Amino acid sequence: MATSTPLLLLLLFLTVIFLSTEITAQPAAPAPRRPGPINITQILEKGGQFVTFIRLLNTTQVGNQINIQINSSSEGMTVLAPTDNAFQNLKPGTLNKLSPDEQVKLILYHVSPKFYTLEDLLSVSNPVSTQSSGRDGGAVYGLNFTGQGSQVNVSTGIVETRLSNALRTERPLAVYVVDQVLLPDEMFGKHKISKVTPAPETKSPVVSDDSKSSKKAASPPSESEKSGSGEMKSGLGFGFGLVVLCLKFLF
Ligand SMILES: *[C@@H]1O[C@H](CO)[C@@H](O)[C@H](O)[C@H]1NC(C)=O
Ligand SMILES: *[C@@H]1O[C@H](CO)[C@@H](O)[C@H](O)[C@H]1NC(C)=O
Ligand SMILES: *[C@@H]1O[C@H](CO)[C@@H](O)[C@H](O)[C@H]1NC(C)=O
Ligand SMILES: *[C@@H]1O[C@H](CO)[C@@H](O)[C@H](O)[C@H]1NC(C)=O
Ligand SMILES: *[C@@H]1O[C@H](CO)[C@@H](O)[C@H](O)[C@H]1NC(C)=O
Number of structural domains in the chain = 1
Q: Give the chain as a 3 state SS string.
A: CCCHHHHHHHHHHHHHHHHHHHHHHHHHCCCCCCCCCCCHHHHHHHHCCCHHHHHHHHHCCHHHHHHHHHHHCCCCEEEEEECHHHHHCCCCCCCCCCCHHHHHHHHHCCEECCCCCHHHHHCCCCCEECCCCCCCCCCCCEEEEEEECCEEEEECCCCEEEEEEEEECCCCEEEEEECCCCCCHHHHCCCCCCCCCCCCCCCCCCHHHHHHHCCCCCCCCCCCCCCCHHHHHHHHHHHHHHHHHHHHHHC
β-partners of residue 78 are 112, 174
Q: What is the mean pLDDT of residues 218-234?
A: 41
Q: Is residue 150 part of a domain?
A: yes
- Low-confidence winner among 35-49, 105-119, 188-202 (lowest mean pLDDT): 188-202
The residue to mutate among 38, 41, 67, having the most atoms of ligand 1 within 8 angstroms of its beta carbon, is: 41
Q: Tell me the one-letter amino acid at 128.
A: V
Question: d(Cα 146, Cα 169) in Å, to the nearest integer?
Answer: 18
Instruction: Work out the pLDDT band at 131, boundaries 50, 70, 90.
Output: very high
Structural domain includes residue 149: yes
179 within a domain of the structure (yes/no) = yes
CA-nearest residue for atom 5, ligand 5, is 161
The string of pLDDT tens digits covering residues 170-192 is: 999 999 999 999 999 888 887 66
pLDDT confidence of 242, banded at 50, 70, 90? very low
The pLDDT value given to residue 83: 97
CB-based pocket (< 6 A), ligand 4: 126-127, 144, 155, 157, 185
Q: How far, rounded to the nearest angstrom, does the alpha carbon of residue 121 sit from its chain's CA centroid? A: 8
Task: Report the pLDDT value the prediction gives residue 8, as an integer from 0 to 100.
Answer: 62
- 110 occurs within a structural domain: yes
pLDDT of residue 37: 86
Closest to 112 (Cα-Cα) out of 127, 129, 124, 134 = 129
Q: For 242, list phi and psi in degrees, rounded to 5.
A: -65, -45
Output 76 or 12, whichever has higher pLDDT. Answer: 76
Phi, psi of 146 (to 5 degrees): -130, 145
pTM of the model: 0.68
CATH at 53: 2.30.180.10
Mean pLDDT of the region 139-161: 91
Task: Output the pLDDT for position 248.
Answer: 52
Please tell me the distance between residue 177's alpha carbon and the centre of ligand 4 in angstroms: 22
- What is the CA(153)–ligand 5 centre distance, in A? 6
Residues of the domain holding 73: 40-188
Q: Is residue 216 part of a domain?
A: no
Q: Which atom of ligand 1 is nearest to the CA of 40?
A: 1
Give the pLDDT score at 70. 92
Mean pLDDT to the nearest integer, 76-84: 97
Q: Is residue 15 part of a domain?
A: no
**Residue 36: band (very low, low, confident or very high) from pLDDT cuts 50, 70, 90:** confident
Q: Is residue 74 part of a domain?
A: yes
Q: What is the predicted pLDDT for the residue at 98? A: 94
Closest ligand 5 atom number to CA of residue 153 = 1
Cα gap 8→15, rounded to integer Å: 10
Name the pLDDT band for 9 (thresholds 50, 70, 90).
low
Residue 89 inside a domain? The answer is yes
In terms of average pLDDT, the best of 25-29, 190-194, 216-220, 244-248 is 190-194
